[in-house]
Amino acid sequence: MNVVITGASRGIGKSIAEHFAAKGANLFLCSRNMDKTLAWQQSLMQKYSISISSFNADLSQAEEAKSFATHVLNATNEIDILINNTGIYEPGATYNEPDGQLEKMMNVNVYSAYHLTRALVASMIKRKSGHIFNMCSIASLQAYPNGGSYSISKWALDGFSKNLREELKPFHIKVTSIYPGATLTPSWDGMNIDPKRILEADDVSKMIVAASELSAQACVEDIVIRPQLGDL
């Protein structure tokens, strides 16, 4: 099994990689800082006897997303799972956030998934097989104070994901949208958050792996996962 994961150097993406490695999957990992995780990659390869191919890229840039796709396709034309996890969060209200923030959020949170999926999906269509996961957010479903352009971009990613789901049905390719609530990742560093009040990255990873293991005739379209006590 070949699994492509973006935003894989830390947080949820890194956790997802660890869970699929434990399942014996070969991994294609991308982030802006994959070169800083070589020791971690080596430990996974040794522990699970898998292969890992990593690539440094800023996927907010269309040409870099396409370069990563070429890197993957040069190695294999059998992509079983694509997980579009690249994303950033910056707070702000739409009426007073810095100029350019919407463009930045859209480039990272939406266009990265759009361009990478377009570059890789032809190989899935040819095989009539595959599963695409898009890392949306609770912010894709519900506006909240100080969400601003982040929330707008996550609504857009949700729309992209829903369109893909309809478009790829005839080719037997599954599409799943993930909507995590607040999750304990490096994005929360420096904030006084009770770890018992927030999701663990592994919670999200376990749900993705479970959805990927269903029969060919079943597709989990949406996974909504929130902290037990509700949103922060």
Residue tagged active-site, from 89, 111, 150, 179: 150
- The predicted-structure confidence for 22-37, as pLDDT tens digits, reads as follows 999 999 999 999 999 9
Task: Pick the range with the lowest mean pLDDT from 25-34, 99-108, 162-171, 198-207.
Answer: 198-207
* Strands of the sheet with 174-180, listed across from one edge: 52-56, 26-31, 2-6, 81-84, 131-135, 174-180, 222-225
pLDDT of residue 182: 81
Domain segments of the chain: what residues? Answer: 2-225
Domain 2-225: CATH superfamily, name plus number: NAD(P)-binding Rossmann-like Domain (3.40.50.720)
150 given a catalytic annotation: yes
Residue 176 has pLDDT above 90, yes or no: yes
Is this structure's pTM higher than 0.85? yes
